[in-house]
């Protein structure tokens, strides 16, 4: 069973977390099932960018993003080449290391 390592994030998992994932489930499904509350304003329908994550390791094990996801990612804050919408990125058979960005397009206040 693959694991997802979530890097520390002050709002979502301050200490970081390692969770078991099931092949075929999305990154956000694994996160939510393990108490990591990644924002998902569109209820995981690929209609916003609030669940944007950066896959630091294991990116190439994910199925490629489709055109709709790519269009949405273009609007994400802090977009990087390994960015994905966690509601669309399905876990395969490899472990992942995931960073939850500090901000989303919905956040208006900056915390330090």
Would you state the structure tokens that stand for residue 102, as one six-digit string?
């500090």
Architecture of domain 3-99: Roll (3.10)
102: phi then psi, degrees, rounded to nearest 5: -65, -35
Give 9's pLDDT tier (boundaries 50, 70, 90). Answer: very high
Question: How many CB atoms are closer than 10 A to CB 35?
Answer: 10
pTM of the prediction?
0.91
Which two structure tokens, joined as six digits, stand for 74? 């273009």
Q: How many CB atoms lie within 10 A of CB 49?
A: 23
Alpha helices (H) along the chain: 27-33, 67-73
Per-residue pLDDT at 106: 61
Reply yes or no on whether the pLDDT at 2 is more than 90.
yes
pLDDT tens-digit readout, 54-82: 999 999 999 999 999 999 999 998 999 99
Q: How many helices (H) and strands (E) does the chain have?
A: 2, 5
């Amino acid at each position: 069973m693959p694991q997802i390592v979530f890097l520390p994030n002050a709002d979502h998992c301050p200490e970081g977390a390692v969770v078991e994932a099931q092949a075929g489930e999305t990154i956000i499904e694994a996160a939510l099932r393990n108490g990591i509350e990644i924002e998902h304003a569109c209820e995981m329908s690929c209609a916003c960018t609030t669940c944007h994550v950066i896959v630091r390791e294991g990116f190439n094990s994910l199925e490629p993003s489709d055109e709709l996801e790519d269009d949405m990612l273009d609007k994400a804050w802090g977009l990087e080449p390994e960015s994905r919408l966690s509601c669309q990125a399905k876990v395969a058979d490899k472990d992942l290391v995931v960073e939850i960005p500090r901000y989303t397009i919905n956040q208006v206040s900056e915390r330090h």
